[in-house]
A and B are shown apart, each in its own frame.
Chain A
Amino acid sequence: MPISARDNDTVLRITDVDVFHGTFQALWNVSLEVRRGEMLALIGANTAGKTTLLDAISGVLHPARGTIEFEGKDIGGLDPYQIVELGITQVPEGRRVFPDMTVLDNLLVGSYAAGARRKRAESLAIVYDLFPNLSERKKQVAKTLSGGEQQMLAIGRGLMAHPKLMLIDEMSLGLAPIVVDEIFKVLGKIRERGITVLFVEQNVNRTLKEADRAYILETGRVVLHGAAADLRENAKVKKAYFGIDECEAT
Chain B
Amino acid sequence: MDIVTPLVIGIMLGGLYGLVALGLSLIFGVMKLINLAHGDLVILSSYIAYALLAYLGIDPVLGLVISIPFMFVLGFVIQRYLLGKGFAISSETPLIIAFGISLVLQNLNQILWTPLSRGLNTSYSAMSFFIGERQFPLSYLLDFMAGIVVTLALRTFLTRTYMGRAITAASQDGRVAQLMGINTNRVYGYAFAIAMGSAAIAGVFLGMTFPFTPTSGISFLTIAFGTVIIGGLGSMVGTFFGGVILGVFQTLGGCLFGPASQMLIVYVLVFLILAIRPRGLFGR
Contact = CB atoms under 8 A, between A and B. Distances in A.
A65 B176 CA distance: 25
Interface string B144-184: 00000000000000010010011011001101111111111
A116 B162 CA distance: 12
B170 to A, nearest CB: 9
Contacts of B175: 60, 92, 96
Contacts, number: 69
Contacts of A81: 178, 181-184
Contacts of A112: 162, 165-166, 180-182
Nearest to B179: A90
A186 interface: no
A109 B169 contact: yes
A101 interface: yes
Contacts of B169: 98, 101, 109
Contacts of A63: none
A120 to B, nearest CB: 10
A103 to B, nearest CB: 13
B284 interface: yes
Given A98-B168, A109-B165, A117-B162, A84 B176 contact: no
A229 to B, nearest CB: 32
A58 interface: yes
Residue of A79, A84, A98, A113 contacting most chain B CB atoms (<10 Å): A98
Contact of A100 (B162, B166, B180, B284): B284
A170 B131 CA distance: 63
A58 B177 CA distance: 12
B197 interface: no
Interface residues of A, number: 25
A92 B175 CA distance: 10
B178 A116 contact: no
B183 A60 contact: no
B183 A79 contact: yes
A60 B284 CA distance: 28
A157 interface: yes
Contacts of A194: none
A92 B181 contact: no
A19 B175 CA distance: 18
Contacts of B184: 81
A84 B172 contact: no
A108 interface: yes
Interface string A87-108: 0011010001011110001001
The 4 closest A-B pairs by CB, nearest first: A84-B181, A113-B181, A80-B178, A81-B183
Given A81-B183, A84-B181, A112-B181, 19 more contacts: A79-B183, A84-B179, A89-B179, A90-B179, A92-B176, A98-B173, A99-B172, A99-B284, A100-B172, A101-B165, A108-B162, A109-B165, A109-B166, A109-B177, A109-B180, A112-B165, A112-B166, A117-B162, A161-B181
Interface of A: 58, 60, 79-81, 84-85, 89-90, 92, 96, 98-101, 105, 108-110, 112-113, 116-117, 157, 161
Interface of B: 159, 162, 165-166, 168-169, 172-173, 175-184, 234, 284
